[in-house]
Structure 1
Amino acid sequence: MELHLGMDEEPTKSLWVRIKGRAGDIIVGVCYRPPDQGDQADEALYRQIGAASCSQVLVLMGDFNHPDICWRDNAAERKQSRKFLECVDDNFLLQVTEEPMRRDAMLDLVLTNKEGLVGDVKLKGSLGCRDHEMVEFKILRAASSLPWTSGEQTLAS
């Protein structure tokens, strides 16, 4: 089975991978949304996220550049950020990053469509001279609500 997520559309800075397992597949996406990205590219990215969220198990990570989002209140000042929140809500995604990375902003996010799938999220310091923190987390394949049988995988964004 191939993974087609809007490849004929406006280009986005995203990578999508299907990891095949005996008990089911998992989709892992990595995205970077430039701060000056236009509405057309945003809509293409949201269509890709929508297509990926139809999978049974999804983990999406990346820098979405929406520093004005208040995740506690599910609110944002800017229109682009409110559209991103709509995409997250429409696709039943959970944001699991708890600590702000830069100037109290949650820029580097880890999102999933299964509660209990992602755990042990930690900030691991900056990579070189970058102003973002590395985010390390585990995909908990042994979660009771998931088709995986045992074990875990560690990923960093």
Structure 2
Amino acid sequence: MKGKANKADVVVGVYYRPPSQENDTDELFYKELRDISRSAAPVLMGDFNFPDINREYHTMNTNKTRKFLKHVEDNLLVQVTKEVIRKGVLLELLLMNKEELVGEVVIGGCLGHSDHEVVEFQIVGERRKTTSKTSTLDMERANFGLLKELVCKVP
């Protein structure tokens, strides 16, 4: 979605992950998620089919689910939907990196004979790029040998 400056302010994505999806396909999704999260404000919704996530205690039973949650956290995404959706399990997720991007999230009803709930929301904010004046160090260019030598000289 383009903002006032005709730049991509928000990227809206819908994703369905089959329960038996292969690891290679998961890896492709995680790469896309990483790329989108770095370039724009993502709003991602869909059925990710990780029924073993216990949202209350933040636990899970499988490595696939752990990996999914790690990628969600690594990309600074937050889950907006908190309601139990289907058969006691929260499968439909609404994820973004800024909670203030959406408002009035309403869950309920279904389209046709689907067992998926409809998730409605409004995109209410614009993403403004700001220039940070905080300097960061490039650790790949660090001279760790010199650092070790200097630290050893400190009494």
Per the normalisation by structure 2, the TM-score is: 0.76
1:49-128 equivalence runs, <5 A: 49-128=33-112
Q: CA RMSD in A?
A: 1.7
Deviations along 1:57-113, one digit per CA (max 9) or x if unpaired, are: 110111100111122333211111111001101100000001111012111110001
Q: Could you list the per-position Cα deviations for residues 29-74 of structure 1 after superposition, in whole angstroms to 9, with x for gaps in the alignment?
A: 1111111001110111111111111124110111100111122333
Instruction: Determine which structure has the larger strand proportion and give its number.
Output: 1
- 1-structure distance, mates of 2:97, 2:117: 23
Do the aligned partners of 1:123 and 1:136 also contact (CA within 8 Å) in 2? yes
Indicate the structure (1 or 2) with the bigger Cα radius of gyration.
Answer: 2
Q: State the aligned residue count.
A: 127
Q: After TM superposition, what 4+ stretches of structure 1 lie above 3 angstroms from structure 2?
A: none
SS at match of 1:82: helix
1:92 counterpart SS class: coil
| 1:27 and 1:55 in contact (8 A); partners too | no
Q: Go from structure 1 to structure 2 and tell me whether the alpha carbon gap of 1:50 and 1:37 turns closer, same or farther (over 3 Å shift).
A: same
Partner of 1:147: 128
How far 1:120 sits from its partner (Å)? 1.3
Relative to structure 2, which stretch is displaced further, 120-129 or 45-54?
120-129
Normalising by structure 1, we get a TM-score of 0.75
* Corresponding residue SS for 1:125: coil
Percent identical among aligned pairs is: 47
Q: Which residues of structure 2 form unaligned runs of 5+?
A: 130-155
Give distance in 1, aligned partners of 2:105 and 2:19.
24
